[in-house]
Amino acid sequence: MSIIDLVFFFFAGMLLLAGMGVILARNPVHSVLFLVLAFFSCSALWLLLEAEFLAIVLVLVYVGAVMVLFLFVVMMLDINLAVMREGFVSFLPVGALIALVIVAQMVWVVGDFAEDTFAGEAFQQGVRHAADYSNTKELGRVLYTDYVLPFEIASFILLVAIVAAIALTMRRRATTKYQTPGRQVKVKRGDRLRIIKMDAEVEK
């Protein structure tokens, strides 16, 4: 067993333990911290696969931005843990059933793919690319040529989700004042300024 194999098994085990910690942790803050550890472990695995771009994006975007935001939100919410745990046992069978269905789907999808890909001689030998190889360029080429339609569909779905979230959270209140740009443009000087003539007062 080589050093690369040991590093892989270490980070793979760390990823599994961190994923279990996200689910089993009693404190939501600890769950978020376990998720950050899972992201770091996953980025290390991507580095072993020579996917440096995906690894650094995972660290910068998710760990550096998204998860920090989640952590601050969870810490500020002041969640009542006792109320949150009341229905855990009642929903446990449904959660276990959904987990089994997801595992079955993953085995079904990855199983056929593994027979053609993972059993190949090139994968078993671990082909190393040259120093000038750019996985970012290859990723962009595949994404914008072979998978350009799914990429556009995914971006459209995300746009619809953003608009829907804004529409659901916007609430008009009677006491709130709103600006109308059309009326602001049509305003005239006489509507905003009034000159009043007053007699000069003599200071005694």
Please report whether residue 52 resides in a domain: yes
**CATH code of the domain containing 81:** 1.20.120.1200
Instruction: Decide if pLDDT at 13 tops 50.
Output: yes
Say if 190 falls within a structural domain: no
- Whether residue 63 contacts residue 39, with contact meaning beta carbons closer than 8 Å, is answered with yes
User: Which tens digits make up the pLDDT trace of 139-191?
Assistant: 888 888 888 898 899 999 989 988 887 877 766 666 777 777 788 888 887 77
Indicate whether 102 belongs to any domain: no
24 occurs within a structural domain:
yes
Tell me: the pLDDT tens digits for 36-92? Answer: 899 999 999 988 887 888 888 888 888 887 777 777 777 776 666 666 666 667 778
Domain count, the chain: 1
In the structure, what pLDDT confidence band is assigned to residue 110 with cuts at 50, 70 and 90? Answer: confident
- Residue 100: inside a domain, yes or no? no
Q: Does a structural domain hold residue 110? A: no
What type of residue sits at position 138? E
Residue 176 within any structural domain of the chain: no
| C-alpha pair distances (Å), 92 with each of 17, 81, 86, 127, 175 | 20, 17, 12, 44, 45
- What DSSP letter does each residue of 101-132 carry, written as one string? HHHHHHHHHHHHHHHHHTTSHHHHHTPPPPTT
Per the structure, the complete domain to which residue 16 belongs is given by 7-86
